Amino acid sequence: MPAAAEDGAQGKIVLPQQGIALTGEDRREACYLIRNAGAKAGRRAAIPEHEDNGDEARYGNRIGNYSKGLPHNSLGAVDSAAYDSLLTALDSGRHADFESIVMGASAPVFQRKLVNPQAGLAYDMEGVDSHGCPQPPAPAVASAEAAGELVENYWMALTRDVPFAEYDTHPLTQSAASDISGLSDFRGPKAAGRVTTGTLFRGFTPGDLVGPYISQFLWMPVPFGAVTYDQKMQTTLPGLDFMTSFSDWLAIQNGNTPVGASPYDVTRRYIRNGRDLSQWVHIDVLFQAYFQAAVILMGLGAPLNPGNPYAASRTQDGFGTFGPPHIATLVAEVSTRALKAVWFQKWYVHRRLRPEAMAGLVHNAKFGVAHPLHADVLTRSAVLDQIRGRYGTYLLPQAFAEGSPLHPSYGAGHATVAGACVTVLKAMFDERFVLPNPVVATPDGLSLAAYTGPDAGSLTVGGELNKLAANVGVGRNIAGVHYRSDYAESLKLGEAVAISLLRESGDTYNEPLTGLTFTKFDGTRVRV
């Protein structure tokens, strides 16, 4: 029998008995068979149907789809020829067609560029192909769900400066919870069927409703090699929001580079409110939060996942496999695969308009331009009166001067990467481990205090990693650039990418694997 072979009937790898080291020609043949079997498995996997919400076909003027960066008329409707030039490029995939997309800025020097639509055409050679994981259709622009999501976005903007620690007592957050509870189709977390100040703007995964709003992994000191640093950040000053005048809004929709930016607070602070969280997710290195979580867990000596082959070894520690370097690099590795998957969904399937653009439809509708928007946002919610009273328009106040980046809203890049990276970490560490000495930021963000709530002993690795993913994903919503379903569905997309990567890599290890078991975002258990 050869040292390694392929079972022709099943297409599976038949490797020698575990523990037999291969060298020379046998090693080369085994390497080939592993690669070949992975490629064949990918070839057998069906490419799923990718269904959009129908808005692009439903509205000839493209009001339900992303068009930022293209030219728009005085009411903010996209130029049809310019939109068609985008579709031509996406349909052909030719680089020259992408270079011929009609852009909308007042002068080339001011033009912001579309962000990397060709990434959605890239292939991946490990794990599922970037086109292999579907996302359900985004909520249609006229639906009650989309209306509910935008109402939540408006309330998030109004409450950016309210400390998370004061949500239970602040009149604005109390009003937000009451108003959102009255919506006909709101899919965020609830308690006894209602949105409360304890569930407001939180995620949907196990652990999201336990303890403080912010994950411990965004507050705890980070041991980075020989240096340990605290997580005080440079945030922006309170009360400064952008794109609240129609002229500014229209210029930004056309792709013009904004003039000015929010000035920084000279005092560094721990994340304590929505404005801080918005700024954190504005300029983060995309896998930063999860790399930091990994080194925090290593520094704590957190136990490994019980399925890790070194978790109970008498003589060995993991290092290049199933140890600290492997875990740290996996966080970065899975990120690039997650981005390719979500960029395909963004540009080639859904092309969902950003919240700032949907708010433009709301603004025009309130001033008499007919748009097919649900009554939950136009007339039933009390939030628009507050927005108009504070800003003079019905536009969605943005935390960033430039508003959203120049790529479609659904799915969300940050949330997809969050889902992928958190899944890797739950596969590598024991998610049941309770984090010691939990903390909470003071309302001014200048210090951390001991968290002594009744659930202080329930802040587990799994729950706080889930919450970390929610903080990053929902933080982009608080900034005004994404919706709730962007975060929720993209978390699941990233999870699927990570599980695929972990499973496919299983044949490459010498260690005996009994399976890494952990809890998915929907609460079910999975083994990889």
48-85 pLDDT, tens digit each: 999 999 999 999 999 999 999 999 999 999 999 999 99
Q: Let me know: does 227 contact 504? Beta carbons within 8 Å.
A: no
Which candidate, 48, 50, 51, places its Cα nearest to that of 128? 48
The topology (CATH level 3) of 55-527 is Vanadium-containing Chloroperoxidase; domain 2 (1.10.606)
Enumerate the domain spans of the chain.
Answer: 5-44, 55-527
The answer on pLDDT for 222 being more than 80 is: yes
Secondary-structure percent of the chain, ordered helix, strand, coil, rounded to 5 = 45, 10, 50
User: Within 10 Å of residue 388's Cβ, how many Cβ atoms?
Assistant: 14
- Give me the pLDDT at residue 317, please: 97
Which candidate, 2, 25, 9, 40, places its Cα nearest to that of 507? 40
Is 407 one of the catalytic residues?
A: yes
Among 72, 374, 407, 482, the active-site one is: 407
Among 131, 371, 414, 482, the active-site one is: 414
The answer on pLDDT for 121 being more than 70 is: yes
At 197, the pLDDT band (50, 70, 90 cuts) reads very high
**246/345 Cα distance (integer angstroms):** 30
Is 170 one of the catalytic residues?
A: no
Residue 112 to residues 79, 106, 279: CA-CA distances in angstroms? 17, 11, 20
Residue 325 to residues 294, 329, 330, 331: CA-CA distances in angstroms? 10, 6, 8, 10
Render pLDDT for 249-300 as a digit per residue (tens, 0 to 9): 999 999 999 987 779 999 999 999 999 999 999 999 999 999 999 999 999 9
Render pLDDT for 388-447 as a digit per residue (tens, 0 to 9): 999 999 999 999 999 999 999 999 999 999 999 999 999 999 999 999 999 999 999 999
Average pLDDT over residues 177-190: 98
pTM, rounded to two decimals:
0.95
Place of tokens 């999501």: 149
